[in-house]
Amino acid sequence: MNAVALIRRRAGRWALNGAATLSLAYILLPLVFVVWLAFFRQEIPSFPPEGYSLRWFAAILDQRKFVDGFSLSFQVGVLATVIGLALGVPAALCLARYDISWRAPLSSLLLMPLIVPGVVLGTSMYVFHVELENALDVDVIGTFYALVAGHVVIVIPWIVRLVTASLAGVDRTTEEAAQNLGANRWITFWRITLPAIRPGMVAGALFGFVTSFGNLEMSLFLVGPGRTTLPIVILQYLEWKIDPTIAAVSVVQIVLIAIAMLITDRYVKLARVV
Amino acid sequence: MSLAIDRQRSRLLTASALIGPATIFVAVSLFAPLAILFRFSLNGFDKATKTMVEALTAANYIHFFTDPYYTAALATTVKIALLSTVACLVLGFPLAYVVARTQSRFKHLLIIAIVLPLFVGNAVRAAGWMVVFGNKGFVNAGLTGLGLIDKPLEIMFTEKAVIIGIIAVNLPFMVLSLQSVIEGIDRAVEEAAFSLGAPPLTMFRRVLWPLALPGILSGTILTFILAMNAYATPYLLGGPLFKMMAPLVYNQFTQQTNWPFGGAIAFILMAVTLGLTVVANLLIQRRSARRTTA
């Protein structure tokens, strides 16, 4: 390779790395500023900050709506994830282990909630709840269980996707060997299949939980008066003002999600599944 | 013989029992609501009592397309979605390439840094931009401090702020779509182009771009759909009066309680998004087909 080409390639490398760094900075910039603001001493987000303080984190607890929102989001997320596992893990087993016709359309259907826009999901579920309430004569609109049912729909795709991915890496002959050695189907499932899909289940559950916990657009249509999830509380607060308190709330959320991501990464290669 | 059929039947039964509940749940939760919403969009609305009136009419759809207020909102939405999608592709490609090709031990941290903002939610990220763009925000304080401007620039509540915000929201999706495809492209192909004397840009145009086309397609489609349907970003960075489609739907439902019209807007939004996606898909595929035969 001649010198000009070498220089050209090296310059290309630098340009490429520079551009990549800029893009990454662009993605992270809003989070950096939210975290920064959470530690400001003054209440107004003006620059440069007059000093730094931790008091806004204590101030979160004084505002009931943040605590209530967090608690509701957490409950909905946990319940939706548990139901999502109960529905999604068997479905993933079926998709990965049985030669059924219709596999492709079934798998697309189960992954579809990922690409249906939140505002469409929210509005359509809302009118569905209206009709259900009229037809069954029970409270549906704005109830806790209606909200959970909506969240289960957006949790299932993650569980199906991650459990299917983890099963693809398991050699099917191990299961057949166990059955040849006299294990029945349940023993095979408990001793061979379940341990193999555990990483996928953990990752799917974490992704599902995080998706549910952070969901805003769909939940806006499903929450009842006086009972809102944390992302909606944050949105409503931001309509009114931006200050270090809301930044501190955001920091708590960012830290929780980062921990969930780091745990997930220990079980499955994130690059393969997202 | 009958034993074999029995076994097959029992396998089919097990398979259905495994996948049935999830399938039924997702299908009912997606399609029944959409069907009802569509039926509602054909109903009328009594403005005086703010209630829905049973009817079978396309009036809501006609109203949307004949009122310049709403067509302008649709035009703004499409324009912003197109702009932000192109920007995501241009900004996302270098990052996706570097992530796909890096040998670093810290690759997983790099990926977490890209994925984390996705899960943190749009409202929190909008909050970050509010700190940057506000009247006393980082940009204005910085420019005033440097003596470059006398009075603060109006960035918040403008189209610029919305576009910048949407690009940041969608960029991770583009990077992840591209990265997974680039990772599957054998590096030897690139090396071959280089050793045949191709400059980097030619290599990119003739080798990398065509091979990465599936990822480029899925990434642009995903970011375009997301941009078309963006809610929190235009609402918080553009202000309550900023006209994009998703905030309009929300407004019709909650402020006006006009479900028929809100439903019609939601379906128009879905149809336009789907239509443009299909057209773009066909165009790109035809172009790439022509290029390979040429």
**B228-273 per-position pLDDT tens digit:** 999 999 999 998 888 899 999 999 988 888 999 999 999 999 999 8
Chain B residues whose CB is inside 8 A of the A44 CB are 136
Closest among B243, B191, B236, B293 to B67, alpha carbons compared:
B243
Picking from A12, A90, A235, the nearest residue to B123 by CB comes out as A235
Looking at the complex, does the CB of residue B131 fall below 8 Å from at least one CB of chain A? yes
For the segment A223-253, what is each residue's pLDDT rounded down to a tens digit? 988 789 999 999 999 988 888 999 999 999 8
Give the pLDDT of residue B249: 93
If one compares B225 and A171, the residue with the highest pLDDT of the two is: B225
Quote the domain boundaries for residue A158: 58-273
Candidates B19, B36, B190: best to mutate against A (most CBs of A within 10 A) is B19
Chain A residues whose CB is inside 8 A of the B19 CB are 90-91, 94-95, 100, 106
Give the pLDDT of residue B2: 66
CATH of the domain at A232: 1.10.3720.10
Cβ–Cβ below 8 Å for A31 and B111 = no
Looking at the complex, does the CB of residue B113 fall below 8 Å from at least one CB of chain A? yes
Chain B residues whose CB is inside 8 A of the A211 CB are 119
Looking at the complex, does the CB of residue B195 fall below 8 Å from at least one CB of chain A? yes
Give the pLDDT of residue A77: 95
Give the pLDDT of residue B247: 93
Is the ipTM higher than 0.85? The answer is: yes
Sketch the domain layout of chain B as residue ranges: 67-293
Residue B190 has pLDDT above 60, yes or no: yes
Chain B residues whose CB is inside 8 A of the A225 CB are none
- Reported as a pLDDT band with limits 50, 70 and 90, residue B54 is confident
**Is residue A124 in some structural domain?**
yes
Cβ–Cβ below 8 Å for B23 and A91 = yes
Give the pLDDT of residue B291: 63
Give the pLDDT of residue B293: 56
Give the pLDDT of residue B203: 85
Picking from B91, B132, B136, the nearest residue to A46 by CB comes out as B136
- Reported as a pLDDT band with limits 50, 70 and 90, residue B52 is confident
The number of C-beta contacts closer than 8 angstroms across A and B is 277
Q: Is A83 helix (H, G, I), strand (E, B) or coil?
A: helix
Q: Name the percent of chain B lying above pLDDT 90.
A: 45
Chain B residues whose CB is inside 8 A of the A120 CB are 34, 229, 266, 269-270
For the segment B85-119, what is each residue's pLDDT rounded down to a tens digit? 999 999 999 999 999 988 888 888 888 899 888 88
Q: Which residue has the tokens 């909630």?
A: A113
- Tell me which chain A residue has its CA closest to the CA of residue B136: A46
Interface of B with A in 66-95 (CB under 8 A): 91-92, 94-95
- Tell me which chain B residue has its CA closest to the CA of residue A32: B128
Domain count for chain A: 1
Cβ–Cβ below 8 Å for A120 and B240 = no
Cβ–Cβ below 8 Å for A239 and B130 = no
Give the pLDDT of residue A157: 93
For the segment B58-80, what is each residue's pLDDT rounded down to a tens digit? 999 999 999 999 999 999 999 99
Picking from B23, B116, B168, the nearest residue to A258 by CB comes out as B116
Residues A99 and A245: their CA atoms lie apart, in Å, by: 54
Identify the CATH assignment for B67-293 out of 1.10.3720.10, 1.20.1250.20, 3.90.79.10, 3.40.50.300.
Answer: 1.10.3720.10
Cβ–Cβ below 8 Å for A216 and B122 = yes
CB-based contacts of B6: which residues, under 8 Å, 6+ apart? none
Stretches in chain A below the pLDDT threshold 50: none
- Tell me which chain B residue has its CA closest to the CA of residue A16: B94
Q: Is A224 helix (H, G, I), strand (E, B) or coil?
A: strand
- Mean per-residue pLDDT of chain B: 88
The DSSP-derived string for chain B is -HHHHHHHHHHHHHHHHHHHHHHHHHHHHHHHHHHHHHHHHTSEEETTTTEEE-----HHHHHHHH-HHHHHHHHHHHHHHHHHHHHHHHHHHHHHHHHHH---TTHHHHHHHHHHHHHH-HHHHHHHHHHHHSTTSHHHHHHHHTTS-SS----TTSHHHHHHHHHHHHHHHHHHHHHHHHHTS-HHHHHHHHHTT--HHHHIIIIIHHHHHHHHHHHHHHHHHHHHT--HHHHHHH-TT---HHHHHHHHHHTS--HHHHHHHHHHHHHHHHHHHHHHHHHHHHHHHHHHH-
